[in-house]
Chains A and B, each alone.
Chain A
Amino acid sequence: MDSISTASLHAVYLLFSGDKELWNIISISFSVSLRAILFAAPLAVLIAFAMAYHRFFGRRVLIYVFNTLLSVPAVIIGLTLYIIFSRNGPLGDLKLLFTQDAMIIGQFILCMPLILIMSHTTFQSSDRRIWETARTLGATRIQAMLTVMYEIRFGLLAALIAGFGRIIAEVGCSMMIGGNILHYTRNIPTAIALETSKGDFSQGIALGIVLLVMAMVLNLSLSLLQGRGEVV
């Protein structure tokens, strides 16, 4: 019990003393995950919109594929990418293994289906009159699409937050294709796993606090944006 309280106190000290190593891990984590979200979100939301508002060949297959991808464990995606990016793999020449770019690709594959399926559900439950009203009032297809997105913004924002939550705390894929290299590919979850296995809890607790605070801030922001959350 004593060791846990000492570790917790040390964790708080590490956070507030501006420990370089700790904040470097935090910055790598956020930089990689934010870049992954930045690439994944627009694509996912656009595909989700197309699937909800347009009929095209293969639409149902696409929904099935993304639903399946949603339930693929992170470690399987990590393993697949490891094989692809390893020296003898089909994309070995790109020398992406154990780089931040590989981690971004892994996290992109992890969060894209989640954002896409959640956005698709949000689009599906949106009122078609939004699109029709926008179009009949002279909005172009792109303007009408942006109007629909604005009207269902809270649902889309929740999809983004869920996607970000999935990758910021993901360990399997980052560990396998990032390699957990200090100051380069070590992020919050891989650092927590490593320090805990070494029996050094203070850094793990400090990083855990960061993840918890982040989750609270994101959800609080969403709640504040949603207002009273009533149906109008």
Chain B
Amino acid sequence: MTTFNITFKDLNKSFNQHLLFNIPELTIESGRCCLLSGINGSGKSTLLKIMAGLETPNNAEIYYKNIKLDWKSACKQIHKKIIYLHQTPLMFDASVADNIKYGMRKQGYSRNKIQESVKMALQWADLEHLKDNNARLLSGGEKQRVALARAYVLSPEILLFDEAFSNLDTQGRTRIFEQICKLKDEGVGIILTSHELAHNTSLTEHHMHLENTHLKIFSKENNIEHFNNIKTPELILVNA
């Protein structure tokens, strides 16, 4: 299986002439799980949105398959492969099944393929009993699962979770955590943000920390001590 990767060079973003971050080089790839941490307002969500092609950087050189792309062409690639999931997922005013179908419909999949994939995704996310319910009326945890299933049917290469666990109770966190593990096992690249140091050393291979406009990157291979010194989600789950 070929690995999908995209590299951002000289990536910077400012708001009202205030520099949010300046990153010399950042590569994201499928099959790896990474935690992005930083205090509130450090630019984690903005960085994720840039990676997802939802926010435009002030400057960036983007390389896909070693070819330099302009922002517009890069977005075309990004929108097919990278999916961003909001902290509080937005549900369209439709049934759970229709929400899951949304992306496939817009990307022109055949009706049979859509039916088949939606059925599978409903099973995968344990949402079969809710498929005809209006997605807006679900609980926070159920909405998060619909959002995950909605992304899952599109077979993304990379999923970007913006504070995936923040609005969930213990049970909800456990379920989402299990689903993220399943996705990782299937080779999907995962980037999770957290303003708490709540990450799992068994799940994440990388830790990126955004602080004072700089991004520090720690990999597990070279910084095992760094990974051992941070709280694990099990601990967070127990404490929650």
In the assembled complex, how far is the CB of residue A134 from the closest CB belonging to chain B, in whole angstroms? 7
* Contact B106–A143 (Cβ < 8 Å): yes
A133 vs B154: C-alpha distance in the bound complex, in angstroms?
13
A134 vs B102: C-alpha distance in the bound complex, in angstroms?
8
Q: Kindly specify which of A81-89, A124-132, A184-192 makes contact with the partner chain.
A: A124-132
A147 vs B91: C-alpha distance in the bound complex, in angstroms?
12
Check: B165 CB closer than 8 A to any chain A CB.
Answer: no
Check: A1 CB closer than 8 A to any chain B CB.
Answer: no
* Contact B106–A136 (Cβ < 8 Å): no
* Contact A138–B54 (Cβ < 8 Å): no
A135 vs B151: C-alpha distance in the bound complex, in angstroms?
12
- The A interface is mostly helix, strand or loop, or mixed, namely helix
Q: State whether A139 and B106 are in contact (beta carbons under 8 Å apart), knowing that A132-B86, A232-B136 are contacts in the complex.
A: yes
Chain B residues, Cβ within 8 Å of A200 = none
Check: A195 CB closer than 8 A to any chain B CB.
Answer: no
Q: State whether A138 and B90 are in contact (beta carbons under 8 Å apart), knowing that A132-B54, A132-B84, A143-B106 are contacts in the complex.
A: no
In the assembled complex, how far is the CB of residue B40 from the closest CB belonging to chain A, in whole angstroms? 19
* Residue tally, chain A, CB below 8 Å to B: 17
* Contact B90–A127 (Cβ < 8 Å): yes
- A99-110: CB near B (< 8 Å → 1, else 0) gives 000000000000
- The B interface is mostly helix, strand or loop, or mixed, namely mixed
A135 vs B83: C-alpha distance in the bound complex, in angstroms?
9
* Contact A138–B106 (Cβ < 8 Å): yes
In the assembled complex, how far is the CB of residue B51 from the closest CB belonging to chain A, in whole angstroms? 11
Chain B residue, CB-CB nearest to A138: B107
Chain B residues, Cβ within 8 Å of A93 = none
A147 vs B54: C-alpha distance in the bound complex, in angstroms?
16
Which residues of A from 132 to 172 have beta carbons under 8 Å from B? Answer: 132-140, 143, 147, 150-151
Chain B residue, CB-CB nearest to A232: B136
Q: Could you write out 20 A-B pairs with CB less than 8 Å apart?
A: A129-B86, A132-B84, A132-B86, A132-B90, A133-B86, A133-B90, A133-B92, A136-B52, A136-B79, A136-B84, A137-B150, A137-B151, A137-B154, A138-B103, A138-B106, A138-B107, A139-B103, A143-B106, A232-B134, A232-B136
List the interface of chain B (C-beta within 8 A of A).
49, 52-54, 79-80, 82-84, 86, 88-90, 92-93, 102-103, 106-107, 134, 136-137, 150-151, 154
* A130-B92, A132-B54, A137-B106 known, 20 other contacts, Cβ within 8 Å: A132-B49, A133-B89, A133-B90, A133-B92, A135-B79, A136-B53, A136-B79, A136-B82, A136-B83, A136-B84, A137-B102, A137-B150, A138-B80, A138-B106, A139-B103, A139-B106, A140-B106, A147-B92, A150-B93, A232-B134
